[in-house]
Amino acid sequence: MTVLVFLDPSLPAGRIVDAAVPALLATDQGATRGDGVFESLLVVGGKIRKSQAHLDRLESSARAMDLRIPPQDLWRRAMATAVTEFRGNLAGTVGSASAPTGNAAGVGNGAGDDELVLKLIVTRGVEGGTTPTAWVQASEPPAAGRAQRETGVDVLLLDRGYDSSIAERAPWLLLGAKTLSYAVNMAALRYARAHGADDVIFTSGDGRVLEGPTSSVLLAHAEGEGPDRIRRLITPQLDSGILPGTSQGALFAAAKAAGWELGYGPVEPADLFDADAVWLISSVRLLAPVNRIDGREIGTAGVRRALTAELNELIARTQ
């Protein structure tokens, strides 16, 4: 089941369209060129997680592309409409387009059954036009991603083909923006699956760890026992041309409050193999422990489980 709500200034709550009927012109530049940006959000129990962070990142990505997008209040209303409609359809009732205009940020680690995924999508519009095309899509979360929270993933290290300073030298590559041009990312995932892995961690040409095709990378070290135990959480630094992770940022804030030490790269592949645990984190899949990288086990299963459980408790406190 999919719900589509197109943003329309004349309809503050958005315009619901039938997802089974074509709704996008063939000349839309999102379809012909991948010229647009998007965000994916998790909704748990009807509550949208980290909505403000995602709306801010959507605007940041759009600025990088000189793309004019609708204001946040229109997105919020359309998101609320999509959630109400989806949940109403799921319950066997007719949803209402006059949904609340606010978004409550959700809590919980997303491990329950009452989940849905929102995608915020905006393109440059039809060729020759001046009006962007913007819509919200509500759908069920991928079953594989939810399972990977529990089972973990095996990953391959793949060279992205750029050095870690290319984003500053060549901003037109849009490496720090979440664009619709995801063909390379999807090709990397297909390559991994064809070679017996589940996912990918990209590295730079000068040997830095970057990010996953749809996720941020985390690694941890734990030392000592009891109240004096030291726990350190590390992620690659943003100036290497990676997308700022909304889930990584929220988790870091919660971890700092819980007494974890935090670090921001530079991270090299050797650091991953030396870690007690490594994770891929994203808004929909949440925290997926990495079992093996290039066939080598990371840490031990017991330590991975314990640290993952601890971080999941922190994720449950984020909004």
> Any idea what the CATH number is for the domain that residue 127 is in?
3.30.470.10
Q: Give the CA angle between residues 67, 280, 196 to the nearest 5°.
A: 110
Alpha helices in the chain (DSSP H): 29-33, 51-64, 72-90, 143-151, 166-169, 183-194, 246-257, 269-274, 301-315
Q: Do 163 and 295 have their domain in common?
A: yes
Closest C-alpha among 116, 128, 130, 146 to residue 42: 116
pLDDT tens, residue order, the chain (319 aa): 899 999 999 999 999 999 999 999 999 999 999 999 999 999 999 999 999 999 999 999 999 999 999 999 999 999 999 999 999 988 774 444 433 333 333 333 433 468 999 999 999 999 999 999 999 999 999 999 989 999 999 999 999 999 999 999 999 999 999 999 999 999 999 999 999 999 999 999 999 999 999 999 999 999 877 666 789 999 999 888 899 999 999 999 999 999 999 999 899 999 999 999 999 999 999 999 999 999 999 999 999 999 999 999 999 888 7
SS3 50: coil
Strand partners, 231: 222
Residues 74 and 204 in one domain: no
| pLDDT confidence of residue 226 | 66
Distances (CA, A) of 171 to 178, 216, 246, 285: 13, 20, 21, 29
> Is the same domain home to 152 and 300?
yes
The last residue of one of the domains, among 116, 141, 166, is 141
Same domain assignment for residues 181 and 284: yes
pLDDT of res. 318: 83
What integer pLDDT is reported at residue 16 of this predicted model? Answer: 97
**Does 104 share its domain with 223?**
no
| 191-198 CB contacts, 8 Å cutoff, 24+ apart | 191/156, 191/158, 192/155, 192/156, 192/158, 195/156, 196/154, 197/153, 197/154, 197/155, 197/156, 198/148, 198/153, 198/154, 198/155
Alpha carbons 67 and 36: distance in angstroms, whole number: 8
Triad 23, 26, 29: Cα angle to 5° = 100
The last residue of one of the domains, among 141, 175, 205, is 141
* The pairing of beta strand 261-264 with beta strand 230-235: parallel
Instruction: Please enumerate in sequence order all residues whose Cβ is within 8 A of that of 80, keeping only pairs 6 or more positions apart, or say none.
Output: 13, 99, 100, 101, 102, 103
Residue 157 and residue 25 share a domain: no
Supply the range of the domain harboring residue 286: 146-315
Domain boundary among 124, 141, 158: 141
- Specify the pLDDT at position 107: 31
What pLDDT, on a 0 to 100 scale, did the predictor assign at position 227?
A: 64
Continuous segment of H or E residues that includes residue 153? strand 153-159
- DSSP classification of residue 234: E
**How many domains are there within the chain?**
2
Do 133 and 206 share a domain, yes or no?
A: no
Do 237 and 302 belong to one domain?
yes
Q: Which CATH number do you get for residue 206? A: 3.20.10.10
